[in-house]
Amino acid sequence: MTRAQDWLDGYLRAWRSYDEADVRALFTDDAEYWFRPNDAEPTRGIDAILEMWDSDRGDDPQFDFEVLIEDDLLAIIRGHVTYPGEKHYTNMWEVWFAPDGRARKFVEWWMLPRKHA
């Protein structure tokens, strides 16, 4: 496996478990979590990320993600998430790695499906 695939597998595990240790394994203590690249400010620091993570529980979403590009500093991941009875999202993620393989910066680029007339 690659660093990016290991990180992605950990992210999906944490998404299912909501276990604090799983989330801490993903992000550095001073990590930035950007929900959108143009947000005024990110969620900053592991404690704030944990608080956000716990409040963002969904009803067993179905997801499919793949690593598109990676090097030692950055991974680009593409995916789809569907919440039962709700919305379907298309995602592109930037994962900026610290030397230890955790994310020091995470940026979500998410889109809802286009409405057709």
User: What is the average pLDDT across 85-92?
Assistant: 85
Is residue 3 a contact partner of residue 75, using CB atoms and an 8 Å limit?
yes
- pTM above threshold 0.85: yes
Tens digits of per-residue pLDDT, 41-83?
999 999 999 999 876 666 678 889 999 999 999 999 999 988 8
pLDDT score for 58: 62
Q: Residue 77 corresponds to which tokens in the numbers above?
A: 């991941």
Across the range 6-13, mean pLDDT stands at 95
Sheet (strand 103-111) strand order: 43-44, 27-34, 103-111, 88-97, 74-82, 62-70
Region 28-40 average pLDDT:
95
